[in-house]
A = this chain, B = another copy of it.
Amino acid sequence: MSGDPSAVRVDAQELRDLAARALTRRGATTEHARIQADHLVAAELRGHPSHGLRRLDVLVARIERGLIDPASQPELQWTAAAALTVDGARGFGPVVAYQAIAALRGRLPETGVAVAALHRTHHLGILAPYMEQLAAVGLVGLMLSSTEGLVHPWGGVGALLGTNPIAIGVPASGGDLAVDMSTGAVSAGKILDYRAKGMTLPDGWAVDAAGHRTTDAAEAAEGAISPFGGAKGYALGLAFGAIVGALTGTALGPDVHGTLDADSEVTKGDVIIAIDPVAFAGSDTRTALGDYFALIRGSGADGSTVTVPGDRARAARDRSCAEGVALSADVWARLHELSEAVDPAVADRNEDPS
């Protein structure tokens, strides 16, 4: 709990407890609430508040409207020796994803590679922790998710592609690699921030409703986000979404719903690939990769810092654990409301954090 007027610093465990309480009071099992709450806080720890406790509101609203079943059990079925089909049964994303990953890990000694395809599963949240977990035990991971249509095709009009993120984990000595990125040039939230502040967008972030590049945040909010990296980023985002659609049978592009809103069934999908590199290479490549990453980290031009994906999140997490999680005051206040709103009898537990 720190001095910045717009932010507090709060112990991560306190955040986990409050968020879990908000969920158990709405029917989540203790275990499911704990996993979902931990995962929201995991985003805060890594400096990604957009995927953090701010999302609790939508989760709560979706539970209250019967869209999320906070006590459901996912159905995991091995439909082939290395193919796991997962019906999330409208449960919390992290609950389903961690069960799927545990099943994949259990299969790897036999197959070396295993893939899970998830449907009827809610937002997985920040993807990095899943990849970090695989990398920490020496496994390579690759994840794809489909998301709401927000991105325009290269040269095209309309928000026909999701921001379809990719995450990758590769184990290495001295710090595993963990990529977690969307295939949009920028998040929808950032464009809304710019609009709220009356700021001009950098060129290349978005197009207007007619498909023309714009730096006007209000026009962009009516248009679509551009893919990152031009035609190449468009190709990847489309392909990632297509892989998810092909393996999960879930909705495509503008038919994807239920991640951001609080009033429609979740129709997106997720794919998780887990690979044991030792099954192939026969030897542990972590040292060689660690040496290579050290070379990369030491290549800064003019004294600038070069990071390997995962480095920044690791540093943010270390700092958050030592100093507490930096949280905006409104999110902190809302967290208290949500953790108490259902059962007034516990309102007296509310204590001013400042």
Contact = CB atoms under 8 A, between A and B. Distances in A.
Interface of A: 79-83, 85, 108-115, 117, 140, 142, 152-158, 160-161, 166, 168, 170-172, 177, 179, 181, 207, 210-212, 228-230, 232-233, 235-236, 238-239, 242-243, 245-249, 252-254, 273, 275-277, 279-283, 285, 288-289, 292, 295-296, 299-302, 304-309
Contacts of A304: 155-156
A44 to B, nearest CB: 22
A285 B112 contact: no
A238 B308 contact: yes
Contact of A117 (B108, B161, B172, B280): B280
A243 B81 contact: no
B111 A302 contact: no
Contact of A246 (B156, B157, B281): B281
Given A79-B280, A83-B280, A235-B309, A115 B113 contact: yes
Contacts of A110: 80-81
A233 B114 CA distance: 26
B289 A242 contact: yes
A194 to B, nearest CB: 19
Contacts of A140: 243, 246-247
Contacts of A228: 229-230, 232-233
Contact of A249 (B160, B230, B242, B282): B282
A85 B278 CA distance: 11
B235 A229 contact: no
**Would you list the 3 A-B pairs with minimal beta carbon distance, nearest first?**
A229-B229, A83-B112, A80-B112
A292 B254 CA distance: 9
A38 to B, nearest CB: 25
21 contacts: A79-B112, A81-B81, A83-B112, A117-B280, A140-B243, A155-B300, A155-B306, A160-B295, A160-B299, A161-B296, A207-B301, A210-B302, A228-B232, A232-B233, A245-B285, A246-B281, A247-B277, A247-B281, A249-B280, A249-B281, A249-B282
A270 to B, nearest CB: 12
Contacts of A295: 160, 253-254
A113 B113 contact: yes
A245 B82 CA distance: 22
Contact of A152 (B160, B166, B179, B299): B299
